[in-house]
Amino acid sequence: MNRYPLWKYLIIAVSLLLGLLYTLPNFYGESPAVQISPLRMTANVDTGILHKVENALKKANLASSGIFLDEGSIKVRFENTDVQIKARDILQTLLGDDYIVALNLLPNSPQWLTSVGALPMYLGLDLRGGVHFMLQVDMDGAISKSLDQYSSDIRSSLREKRIPYAGLERQGEQLTIKFRNIESRTKAEAELKENFPDLALRAEKVGTNFNFVTTINQEAQIDMKESAVQQNITTLRNRVNELGVAEPIIQKAGADRVIVQLPGVQDTAKAKDILGRTATLEIRMVDDERDLDAALRGQVPFGTELYEERGGGPLLVKKQVLLTGDRITDAQPGFDMDNQPAVHIRLDSNGSRIFKQLTRENVGRRMAILLIERNHTEVVTAPVIREEIGGGRVQISGSMNSIEAKDIALLLRSGALAAPMEIIEERTVGPSLGAENIARGFNSTLYGFLAVAIFIMIYYMAFGLISVTALSINLLLLIGLLSIIQATLTLPGMAALALTVGMAIDANVLINERIRDEMRNGASPQLAISTGYERAFGTILDSNITTLIAGIALFAFGSGPVKGFAVVLCLGILTSVFSAIFVSRGLVNFFYGSRRKLDQVPIGKIWIPEKTDAYFLTTNQASAGAVASLSEIEETAKEASVQPIETKEIAKEETIEPNETKEIPSKSGIETNEPEEISDTPSLALNETKKKPRKASAKPSGRKRKKQK
């Protein structure tokens, strides 16, 4: 009846082993570290840089507790923050501006745990420390940038359709297109409405010119501002990846603000540097007609700039920008026809039209593709245009390896910010404050657990000890599960942990009380255990499902700390149901299921109510429902020195007419002619007499009753 098969015990054992394995890394803590990452595509992180860093630290007598290569960056671990800061300054001077040397925190988990994928939980900003930024998007800058783009597109469109116009001017938030005759303006109107539906056109005549005043309509401005915020969030998220931040929080706050939280990052200046990083693409034409030797001597011709081609020699490139990276919709690394690393770029509709016209008009000439990053411009490649290229697909290949192709594609996808951003709030949470929050959260959970455990063990004895063991396993599985999925734990998550302790013990209380009920009803101990678990299962499942629905709603509609609370709550519900029903039943079956003769269940004192006879009062007020209490009956009986007996209420009432007497036999057999007055106070039915309730006579005086043998 109360026995588990072997496979169920194996499930419990494997669950405990995995929970313990993935919980262990959370007890090793973190140590200060320095992370070195390349800042530009030309900079690489390899074993040469690693040896260079090691030698610099030895020369400065700075001891490190570990140095290793990890995912394109070098990480150096130190014993304390003083050595960490000194090492950062030395390494930054050594490596120069081509590398990012940032302060960070690394887990102290042993290598054998890391090798099996056992990693500590991510800690939020309030527990780990780090930096918090609130940035505001310059919406006017987004509109201004869009007007500049529309201005360039309108010129290209009118030129392509051979529609003459006298000029195009920008005045505030509107563009004025000038035409010399009304026929040209009419042709341009059809073209503009077809290609630029987001522009509102207003015709006007100024002097001899027929003009169009164009503005961005209101709906398009709203979509544009929303798009600018979302694009900036995507760009910031791609840039933050370079800091190696685990689980950064980058989310929208209001209509034009973005919150950036970087847990574990201690270097605010480097974080600002990364967030302000830009990378974009420009396409220009190579000027092969000017004197390159004169340019190398310092005499750069007007309208050109001198650059170095990657893997090649110097080039004279025209200043006129024909196409920018704003037209790029996607960029993916790949390989060209010669199986060499390349970057495949997809352009939007306007970019495709511009690039098609560019290649058609410059067949046989060299086109330079420039990558601009942090005010550093580099010619990635300068191919010769062989034919007209349409379809909006461009391939960049040259002197690059597969890693550089991947990085270039990432930067081109992230690109520049869609609109300027300004940091309006900056806050730093130190590691000491985070450690204090962790200690407080841990202590609150520990004290709550101990209080619950002591009460349950006193009240339920051995079964209380089993319930506390199941509760401990529940916490172990919950922390292990959070570590497996690499969830982020914040202060609200710590509150959810403490709440889980109180909620999880409810299931064990229901089970134990159900077992008590079965034993109170006379069931045998083994039957009471089996029936108690079976009947408590439905109640436990219903209560936890309703709480789970609330947790899912918090996760779906909440954000930030609310989501962290919901994740821990939902996972805690799943582990509490498993531990309360499956694990605790396994422990009970292991200790008591094999006993053939189980006389009693050590589940605490079982209270069984005593069955006591009820005593009723029969008076002239009984018809109105007056009944004496048991205590009053016993007290009155003691005063009369007689024993109370069980009486029955006589439902039938007799009516005494005026001047009429009723003979009532006496129990004692003694006849008396003494009249007995009837008082309004209730009387008791004793061994001597039985009195029946009667209705009052119509006459107020002279009511007497005869007693007869």
| pLDDT one-digit tens code per residue, 279-321 | 567 888 888 888 788 888 888 888 788 888 876 788 888 887 8
For position 413, what pLDDT does the model report? 65
**What percent of the chain shows pLDDT beyond 90?**
11
At CA 191, angle to CA 190 and CA 192, rounded to 5?
Answer: 95
**pLDDT at residue 472 in the model:** 92
pLDDT at 186 over 80: yes
Q: Beta strand 694-695 with 654-655: parallel, antiparallel or unpaired?
A: parallel
Q: Is 113's pLDDT higher than 80?
A: yes
Query: Does the pLDDT value for residue 614 go beyond 80?
Result: no
Residue-level pLDDT at 473: 93
User: Rounded mean pLDDT of 611-637?
Assistant: 42
Tell me if 515 sits within 8 A of 603, measured CB to CB.
yes
pLDDT at 68: 84
Q: Please provide the average confidence, as pLDDT, over all residues in the chain.
A: 77
Q: Would you call 377 helix, strand, or coil by DSSP? A: strand
How would you classify the pairing of strands 122-123 and 341-347? unpaired
CA dihedral 462→463→469→473, nearest 10 degrees, is 160
What interhelical angle do 431-484 and 561-577 show, nearest 10?
Answer: 40
Q: Which pLDDT band holds residue 382 (cuts at 50, 70, 90)?
A: confident
Structural domains in the chain plus CATH codes: 6-10+432-592 (1.20.1640.10), 30-107 (3.30.70.260), 139-223 (3.30.1360.100), 229-423 (3.30.1360.200), 610-709 (no CATH)
Q: Is 629 exposed, middle or buried (0-12, 13-18, 19+ CB in 10 A)?
A: exposed
Lowest mean pLDDT among 65-74, 409-418, 570-579: 409-418
Q: Which region among 39-53, 153-167, 648-662 has the lowest average model confidence (pLDDT)?
A: 648-662
Tens digit of each residue's pLDDT (9 = 90 or more) over 448-496: 889 989 999 999 999 999 999 999 999 999 999 999 988 888 888 888 8
Contact status, residue 4 vs residue 593, Cβ threshold 8 Å: yes
Coil, strand or helix: which one is 288? coil
Percent of the chain with pLDDT over 70: 78
DSSP string covering 635-692: HHHHHTTS-----------EEPPTT----EE-TT--------PPPSS-----SS----
The answer to whether 689 and 667 have CB atoms below 8 angstroms apart is yes
Tokens of 675: 């009249």
Q: Is the pLDDT of residue 411 over 90?
A: no
CA 693 to chain centroid, in Å, comes to 75
Vertex 512 angle, CA 507 and 514, to 5°: 95
pLDDT at 375: 59
518 or 99, greater pLDDT: 518
Q: For residue 332, list its beta bridge partners.
A: 344
CB 274 within 8 Å of CB 373: no
In this structure, are residues 658 and 691 in contact, taking their beta carbons and an 8 Å threshold? no
Supply the pLDDT for residue 474.
Answer: 92
CA 211 vs. chain centroid, Å, equals 54
Put simply, whether the predicted model's pTM sits higher than 0.95 gets the answer no
Angle, helix 6-23 to helix 584-592, in steps of 10 degrees: 130
In tens, the pLDDT along 646-691 reads 434 433 344 444 444 444 444 333 344 444 444 444 443 334 334 4
Output the CA torsion sign for 201, 206, 208, 209: negative
Residue 627 has pLDDT above 60, yes or no: no
User: CA–CA separation, 668 vs 687, rounded Å?
Assistant: 9
pLDDT given at position 13: 93
User: What is the Cα–Cα distance from 678 to 22, expressed in whole angstroms?
Assistant: 86
The string of pLDDT tens digits covering residues 55-64 is 999 998 888 8
DSSP label at 624? G
Cβ contacts of 589 within 8 Å, gap of 6 or more: 2, 3, 4
pLDDT of residue 280: 67
**pLDDT over 70 (residue 23):** yes
How do beta strands 304-308 and 314-318 pair? antiparallel
CA distances to 183, 184, 423, 603 from 176, in Å: 17, 15, 34, 88
Query: Which pLDDT band holds residue 696 (cuts at 50, 70, 90)?
Result: very low
Distances (CA, A) of 252 to 124, 139, 234, 256, 555: 18, 14, 11, 8, 17
Helix (H) or strand (E) holding 504, with range, is helix 491-520
Spell out the residues 6+ positions from residue 459 whose beta carbon is closer than 8 angstroms to its own.
604
Contact yes or no for 348/392 (Cβ under 8 A)? yes
211 has a pLDDT exceeding 90: no
Q: How confident is the model at residue 373 (pLDDT cuts 50, 70, 90)?
A: low
- At a CB cut-off of 8 Å and minimum separation 6, what does 6 contact? none
pLDDT band at 270, cuts 50/70/90?
Answer: low
Q: Which helix (H) or strand (E) holds 393?
A: strand 393-397
Nearest Cα to Cα of residue 191 among 355, 353, 328:
353
Tens of pLDDT along 327-358?
A: 777 777 888 777 778 878 888 777 888 888 88
Alpha carbon 501 to chain centroid, angstroms: 21
- Hey, how many other C-beta atoms are within 10 angstroms of the C-beta on 605? 9
Alpha-carbon gap, residue 370 to 395, rounded angstroms: 13
Write down the pLDDT at residue 622: 38
**Residue 53 β-bridge partners:** none
Question: Helix, strand or coil for residue 523?
Answer: coil
Task: Please state the rounded mean pLDDT for residues 639-646.
Answer: 44
